[in-house]
Amino acid sequence: MTAVGFEKPGGPEVLCPQEMPLPMPGTNQVLIRVAYAGINRPDVIQRQGFYPPPPGASPIPGLEVSGMVVAIGEGAAPEMLNRRVCALVSGGGYAEYCLAHAAHCLTLPETMPLDVAAAIPETLFTVWHNVFERGWAREGDRLLVHGGTSGIGTMAIQLAKAFDLTVIATAGSEDKCQAIRDLGADLAINYKTQDFVEEVKAFTGGEGVDIVLDMVSGDYVARNIECLADDGRHVTIAVLGGLKAEINMATVMRKRLALTGSTLRPRSDEFKALLADEIYNYAWPLFSDGTIAPVMDRTFALADAAAAHARMEGGEHIGKIVLEVAGG
């Protein structure tokens, strides 16, 4: 099969097509003939040499795919054969065929296009776990989302609104702010021209937000803590602004804050299976009936994965970038 990978870390130009053996499904695995693969920030970080795949995972980038199940391993349900699915995978998505754990697949409704399906798993699993499980989101809460037009951001806004949260989101231009307003955000803040701490305080009457979903870290953490209400939850899912933060622990104690975070890729198959089951029961119906759909930015051919990475790194995209592998 053809896959796109890299021999040495570097810029987008290191990505190139490779011929690789066709993988064979093991216990509880399925083999998916890939139609589309989603592009995610961890793919970029892996290509740069800072996010190696966990033990046993494919070295080929790609954490989410859509397509048809063409082979099943021992323990996988026979009825999965020839089923249209999207799947969260630990690697290997930039390829004509990809292995997935059977329990990490979501069966697609007949009306869902395969390119749209490939844009869902990574952001859906990440947002559900971090906002609703680690962040304990509930109806009526206020959520602050940084990077509102990213794949994670657009998913978080839609999911939060579907479960009756008030959403504040940041973005770096007026066009992007309008895009997140169109998605349903109650307040859009241009972080380049506005102080998001002051804007949050003004919007909430000084009370603050209940949850911050933070992809920046670094010096944003102390500012996020200023935005949090008493008993607020700060959830970190990326460190694009720096690995370290300096915070006032007296404020954390006074407000009774919870600071947490996670990375999804290295979690166990059992954990991801439980997460997928919860998503299938509570969130997937919203995708099946069209209430929520991923925001689609641009589609590139598999051979043009380098251009797709360059677009993501350029920061002009709104929503998800996907690779077309076989279409369908």
98-145 residue pLDDT tens: 999 999 999 999 999 999 999 999 999 999 999 999 999 999 999 999
Q: What is the CATH number of the domain that holds 72?
A: 3.90.180.10
Residue pair 86/125 in contact (Cβ under 8 Å)? The answer is: no
Residue pair 3/17 in contact (Cβ under 8 Å)? The answer is: yes
pLDDT at residue number 150: 96
CA nearest to 154, candidates 126, 115, 192, 133: 126
Domain that holds residue 252: 126-261
Residue that terminates a domain, selected from 246, 261, 276: 261
Q: Which stretches in the chain have pLDDT values below 70?
A: none
Residue that terminates a domain, selected from 261, 282, 297: 261
pLDDT at residue number 42: 95
Residue pair 99/25 in contact (Cβ under 8 Å)? The answer is: yes
Residue that terminates a domain, selected from 241, 261, 281: 261
CA 268, 287, 114, 151 dihedral sign is negative
CA nearest to 13, candidates 307, 302, 303: 307
CA dihedral 91, 96, 99, 103 (to 10 degrees): 100
Number of domains in the chain: 2
CA nearest to 105, candidates 71, 69, 73: 69
- The strand pairing partners of 168, in sequence order, are 144, 187
Do 304 and 252 reside in the same domain of the chain?
no
Do 27 and 108 reside in the same domain of the chain?
yes
Do 236 and 278 reside in the same domain of the chain?
no
